[in-house]
């Protein structure tokens, strides 16, 4: 794949370029140190990468504004945020404007699989990003009227399935969910497979994003 990197730290750009090239994961088309440079490089002939790795906070035009302009210009653009900031507001805005994922820099080992997942059409959230979204929604969830209708995508789920979805959105893996609900891991896997089929979602990351987004409304 062809990748571009926008980060105001040249060491990050250099290190990521080395990792992606050395592992045979991707060719790096270009790097940029701010949002404006990223936008201009993307607009240049031959400048459109398969995936754009983008930091959030950069001087001048930040990554969120750059992503918004790039996606408005090219709806097929794949933007994957790679940043040190796991702020809920940043994550929510990034997903709302059409980014394909949000990964925290501390988890460098997740960059390659995240790029591969984005290329496969998936939306990617790092574990810390999922946890922050979940924590940010706890108060809103507790204030919700239990009589309020269930979001359309989740209306066909049973109470148990919705309980499992909430735990997935909380960042728990199958083993932790099994312990919490006193179920076997196999039963949890079967539930999640049924949930994905009913909701027409591809994976648990998309499931978590959709569930957390529904709690915002």
Question: What is 81-146 written as a DSSP string?
Answer: EEES---HHHHHHHHHTT-SEEEETT-GGGHHHHHHHHHTT--EE-HHHHHHHHHHHHHHHHHS-T
Dihedral pair phi/psi, residue 126, rounded to 5°: -65, 160
* Residue ranges of the chain that CATH labels 3.40.50.2300: 2-125
pLDDT digits (tens, 9 = 90+) for 21-42: 998 999 999 999 999 999 999 9
Q: In terms of C-beta density within 10 A (0-12 exposed, 13-18 middle, 19 or more buried), how is residue 3 classed? A: buried
What local confidence, expressed as pLDDT, does residue 130 receive? Answer: 57
Q: What CATH number has the domain spanning 2-125?
A: 3.40.50.2300
pLDDT digits (tens, 9 = 90+) for 69-79: 999 999 999 99
Q: Is the pLDDT of residue 203 over 80?
A: yes
Give the span between the Cα atoms of 5 and 177, in whole angstroms: 36
Give the span between the Cα atoms of 102 and 94, in whole angstroms: 8
Give the span between the Cα atoms of 155 and 150, in whole angstroms: 6
What local confidence, expressed as pLDDT, does residue 126 receive? Answer: 67
pLDDT digits (tens, 9 = 90+) for 75-106: 999 999 998 887 778 888 888 888 988 888 87
Of the candidates 37, 10, 202, 30, the one whose C-alpha atom is nearest the C-alpha of residue 121 is 202
* Residue ranges of the chain that CATH labels 1.10.10.10: 131-216
pLDDT digits (tens, 9 = 90+) for 146-200: 444 556 788 888 888 888 988 888 777 888 888 888 888 888 889 999 999 988 8
Q: What CATH number has the domain spanning 131-216?
A: 1.10.10.10
Give the span between the Cα atoms of 28 and 5, in whole angstroms: 8
Per the DSSP assignment, residues forming a β-bridge with 54 are: 6, 81
Q: Are 77 and 51 in contact (CB under 8 A)?
A: no
Q: What does pLDDT average to over the chain?
A: 84
What local confidence, expressed as pLDDT, does residue 145 receive? Answer: 47
Q: What is the DSSP letter of 2?
A: E
What local confidence, expressed as pLDDT, does residue 143 receive? Answer: 45
Give the span between the Cα atoms of 51 and 80, in whole angstroms: 7
């Amino acid at each position: 794949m062809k990748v571009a990197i926008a980060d105001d730290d040249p060491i990050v750009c250099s290190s990521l370029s080395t990792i992606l090239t050395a592992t045979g994961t991707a060719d790096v088309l270009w790097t940029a140190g701010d949002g404006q440079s990223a936008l201009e490089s993307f607009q240049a002939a031959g400048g459109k990468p398969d995936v754009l790795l983008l930091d959030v906070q950069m001087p001048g035009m930040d990554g969120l504004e750059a992503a918004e302009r790039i996606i408005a210009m090219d709806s097929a653009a794949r933007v994957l945020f790679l940043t040190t900031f796991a702020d809920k507001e940043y994550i929510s805005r990034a997903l709302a404007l059409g980014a394909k994922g949000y990964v925290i820099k501390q988890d460098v080992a997740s960059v390659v699989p995240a790029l591969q997942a984005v290329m496969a059409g998936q939306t990617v959230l790092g574990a810390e990003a999922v946890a922050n979204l979940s924590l940010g929604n706890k108060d809103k969830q507790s204030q919700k009227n239990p009589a309020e209708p269930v979001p359309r995508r989740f209306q066909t789920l049973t109470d148990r399935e919705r309980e499992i979805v909430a735990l997935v959105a909380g960042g728990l893996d199958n083993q932790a969910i099994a312990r919490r609900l006193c179920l076997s891991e196999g039963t949890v896997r079967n539930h999640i497979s049924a949930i994905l089929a009913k909701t027409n979602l591809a994976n648990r990351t998309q499931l978590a994003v959709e569930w957390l987004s529904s709690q915002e409304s």
